[in-house]
Amino acid sequence: MTGLHERHLAVSPDWLALYYRHPLELTHGEGRHVWDADGNRYLDFFGGILTTMTAHALPEVTKAVSEQAGRLIHSSTLYLNRPMVELAERIATLSGIPDARVFFTTSGTEANDTALLLATAYRGSNQILAMRNSYHGRSFSAVSITGNRAWSTTSLSPLQTLYVHGGVRTRGPYAELSDEGFIRSCVADLEDLLGHTRGAAALIAEPVQGVGGFTAPPDGLYAAFREVLDRHGILWISDEVQTGWGRTGDHFWGWQAHAGKGPPDILTFAKGIGNGMSIGGVVARADVMNCLDANSISTFGGSPVTMAAGLANLSYLLEHDLQGNARRVGGLLIERLRAVGAGSPAVREVRGRGLMIGIELVKPGSDEADPEAAAAVLEAARAGGLLIGKGGGHSTSVLRIAPPLSLTVAEAEEGAEILAEALHAAG
144-179 pLDDT, tens digit each: 888 887 777 777 788 999 999 999 999 999 999 999
Q: What is the dihedral of CA 37, 25, 35, 412, to 10 degrees?
A: 150
**Structural contact between residues 380 and 372, judged by C-beta atoms closer than 8 angstroms:** no
Q: How far apart are CA 297 and CA 290, in angstroms?
A: 13
Q: How far apart are CA 353 and CA 362, in angstroms?
A: 21
Q: How far apart are CA 225 and CA 260, in angstroms?
A: 10
Strands of 356-361's sheet in order across: 347-353, 356-361, 398-401, 389-391
Residue 113 DSSP one-character state: H
The 10 Å Cβ neighbour count of residue 181 is 12
pLDDT of residue 1: 61
Q: What is the largest CA-CA distance in the chain?
A: 62
Mind listing the domains of the chain with CATH numbers?
A: 3-57+321-426 (3.90.1150.10), 62-319 (3.40.640.10)
More confident residue, 415 or 148: 415
**Structural contact between residues 401 and 394, judged by C-beta atoms closer than 8 angstroms:** no
Q: How far apart are CA 352 and CA 334, in angstroms?
A: 8
**Percent of the chain beyond pLDDT 90?**
89
pLDDT digits (tens, 9 = 90+) for 53-85: 999 999 999 999 999 999 999 999 999 999 999
pLDDT digits (tens, 9 = 90+) for 173-211: 999 999 999 999 999 999 999 998 889 999 999 999 999
Q: How far apart are CA 170 and CA 395, in angstroms?
A: 16
Local confidence band at 259 (pLDDT 50, 70, 90 cut-offs): confident
How many residues are recorded in the chain?
427
Taking 80 as the threshold, does the pLDDT of residue 243 lie above it? yes
Instruction: Specify the pTM.
Output: 0.95
The secondary element (H helix, E strand) that includes residue 233 is: none
Environment class of 297 (CB within 10 Å of its CB; exposed 0-12, middle 13-18, buried 19+): exposed
pLDDT digits (tens, 9 = 90+) for 82-97: 999 999 999 999 999 9
pLDDT digits (tens, 9 = 90+) for 290-314: 999 998 999 999 999 999 999 999 9
Taking 80 as the threshold, does the pLDDT of residue 350 lie above it? yes
Give me the chain's average pLDDT, please: 95
